[in-house]
Amino acid sequence: MAGELPVLYSFRRCPFAIRARMALYYSGVRVELREVVLRDMPRELLACSPKATVPVLVLPDGAVLEESRDIMDWALAQHDPEGWRPQPGSADAAAAQCLIDANDNDFKPRLDRYKYAERYPEQPAAWYRAQGERFLDDLERRLECHDWLLGGRMGIADVAIFPFIRQFALVDRVWFDAGPRVNLRNWLDGLLQAELFSAVMCKYPPWRRGSCAPLFP
């Protein structure tokens, strides 16, 4: 149901929702935040997005954005104070797109197999981890050349990919910290310590119809 403010259905720990919240927070666009429980999604969400994933952003005109990348793009189109979004059609835009595609289409399924290895007993967890490490190596090579994935300043690719690297590292932080990817570790730690990240990780009770949802940011 459309209201005065955009409504964001979100799940705190979901990496797709984290990147959407980071982009919204950065853009300064105020939304009503409705925290959901994945196994008990509210009827209001299912009514506007039957595919039943989060994040979902419902705009005041009733338009529904059901993909985290669309939500990020929408937020940055409203306000992009530090130029996270490369010029549309530029080589930088193509590079960002390509890297985020690699994260979403290739790395994310490997992350899931590593994180939930007991559900995929065909191989041990370390095997799935090694599959994911190829992407970590790619990121490490980039970060050897500059502080951010695509150059000298933070951009959409950093924010879109960071929550997934965080999850990968969290599976076994001791292993991650003992590994050779110093630049990737510094990049991850920098983002983990950023106010932007802590601001979007506040805990809220699940939204129920009639309950008052927090405004965000």
Ligand X SMILES: N[C@@H](CCC(=O)N[C@@H](CS)C(=O)NCC(=O)O)C(=O)O
Residues that bind ligand X (CB under 6 A): 11, 14, 16, 38, 53-55, 67-69
Please count the other Cβ atoms lying within 10 Å of the Cβ belonging to residue 112.
Answer: 15
Q: Which residue's CB is nearer to ligand X, number 12 or number 185?
A: 12
- The helix or strand, by DSSP H or E, that contains position 7, with its residue range, turns out to be strand 7-10
Rounded to whole angstroms, the Cα distance separating 185 from 173 reads 10
Rounded to whole angstroms, the Cα distance separating 105 from 202 reads 28
Rg (CA), the chain: 18
Least distance to ligand X, CB of residue 146, Å:
26
Least distance to ligand X, CB of residue 72, Å:
9
Q: Which residue's CB is nearer to ligand X, number 71 or number 139?
A: 71
Rounded to whole angstroms, the Cα distance separating 41 from 78 reads 28
Q: Which residue's CB is nearer to ligand X, number 27 or number 68?
A: 68
Least distance to ligand X, CB of residue 11, Å:
6
Residue 213 has phi, psi (to 5 degrees) of -85, 145
Quick one: DSSP state of residue 151? B
Q: Which residue's CB is nearer to ligand X, number 110 or number 181?
A: 110
Least distance to ligand X, CB of residue 182, Å:
29
Q: Which residue's CB is nearer to ligand X, number 16 or number 114?
A: 16
Facing residues of 56 across strands? 9
Least distance to ligand X, CB of residue 179, Å:
25
